[in-house]
Amino acid sequence: MRRVKVRISEEATSKKRDKVVIEEAEDTRKLQLALLRKIRQHATAPVDKYGCEQLGRLSNTEKGFRFYVLVALLLSSQTRDEIVGAAVSRLHHIGLSPASIQGLDENVLADLIKPVGFYKKKAIYLRRICEILIEKYEGDIPNNYHDLCALPGIGPKMAYLAMAHAWNNPVGIGVDVHVHRIANRLKWVDTLHKSTDHTRMELENIIPKRFWPEINPLLVGFGQEICRPTKPLCHLCDLQALCPSAFAKGNKKV
C-alpha cells in the first residue's frame, strides 16, 4: 500500500513539475511575441510593402482584393517580395482579373511576370486558375482550404495565408523558411531537421488561434531584416536577452 502511495505521489509531483515548465514556456513566448511586435512596429521589411495583403489592396473591390492576394501568393514561391510586387504591379496596370488573365497568351503572361521564379510554369498555372475561378466560383477564389489547395500551383502554405488574409478566416499558420528557422531559434519548436509542416502543426498546438494570422508576417519581416539565415544581427536585436540562440555559433542557413 505504501509503495502505491509513493508511486501516486511521484506521478503527481511529475505532473505538477510538467505544468510549471509549460506555464513558464508560455510566459516566455508571450514576452517574445510582445518584443517581436515592438521590433516590427515600424513595418519596414519587404514583406510589409509587398506581402500578399498589401498587394491585394491595389484592387478597389473585395473580390478583386481576394484575387490579387491569391496571385501574389502564387508568384511568391522561390521569389523575393520585391520581385513579386513588381510583377503584380505590371499585371495591375493591364487590368488584373480572372477574365483579363484568361484572355492573355501564355507567352505574354510569362513576359509580364518575369523574372519571378519559374515564371513560365506559373504563367500556365495562373491561366488555368483563372479558368477554374470563372467556371466554378463566379470569378472569385474558393473560400475553403481544400479547394484552394486543389488549384494549380497553390500549396498548403499559400492556402493557409489566403484563408487568413483574403477571407479573414485563419485555419492554419503559413510556415515558410523564415517561420521555420525563427521558431526553432526561439525554441518554440524542435523541428529544425523536419519539414515546415511539422513546424506548423507544433506551432498551432502552442499558439492561440487568434494570433495565427500575425505569425507569418511577423516572423518573415523579422527574418528579412534581423534574424537572417546566416549571420543574424543579434547585436541589433532587442530580443537577444530572451532568445536561446542569440550569438550562437551554430546559426547557419536553414
Cα dist from 130 to 67, 201, 203, 242, whole Å: 9, 31, 33, 46
State the first-to-last Cα distance of the chain, in angstroms, to the nearest integer. Answer: 54
Pair 220, 45: CB distance under 8 Å: yes
Cis bond upstream, residue 98 (ω within 30): no
Of 68, 53, 73, 82, nearest in space to 153 by CA: 73
Rounded to an integer, what is the distance from CA 105 to the centroid of its chain?
31
Provide the 10 A C-beta neighbour count for residue 161: 28
Q: Is the dihedral of CA 237, 242, 243, 247 positive or negative?
A: positive
- Exposed e or buried b for every residue in 166-204, given b needs 16+ CB within 10 A? bbeebbbbbbbebbbbbbbbbebbebeeeebebbbbbbb
Under 8 Å between Cβ of 174 and 161: yes
Q: Would you please indicate which residues are annotated as catalytic (active-site) residues? A: 157
Sign of CA dihedral 231, 50, 81, 208: positive
In contact, 84 and 114? CB cutoff 8 Å: no
